[in-house]
Structure 1
Amino acid sequence: FSVWPRLTYIDLCFRDMFGEDCVSSKDGFVLCVTVDGKTANISLETRTVDCEPGSEDDESLREMVELAAQRLYDALSPVY
């Protein structure tokens, strides 16, 4: 299964939620969301969110991004 289609949808959704300038991608498998100088990284392979050095103390950003990512994954996942 490829993460590329999901990257497109999740990238677009996060850009709508946080703004064009707040979302970037690195290596094609990690989506970065930056808010107020703090950055959370979403692994599209493992569905985990971690904060970059200097941003670890912002638990609310990590939780908000993690919850949004999980809801988007759930919405995009096919129902069998």
Structure 2
Amino acid sequence: PRFPTLVEDSLTGFDNMAQLDLDIYLTGHPEQPFEGIEHAMRVQVRPHPLLNQQPWTEFIAERRAEFLSRVEAERQQLRLQ
């Protein structure tokens, strides 16, 4: 293989990202990321309404699972050849 440690390196990257202690996490989705929390942000409620690790943790876990699924699918294709 051209990059023999690519899968392991990628999984290490996912694991490292999952351990990040984020200040805030802004989604890249087109829906309103501040919907329902505008007032809380204006009056400076603490803890900050965007201080929420769960979406980031879920995002990384989903991407890691998708990556592993693609790796397994490609490995199965190689076995069939």
From the CA coordinates, give the structure whose radius of gyration is larger.
2
Is this a same-fold pair by TM over 0.5? no
| Higher share of residues assigned helix | 2
- Ranked by relative contact order (alpha carbons within 8 Å, sequence separation 6 or more), the top structure is 2
TM-score, with normalisation over the residues of structure 1? 0.37
| Higher share of residues assigned strand | 1
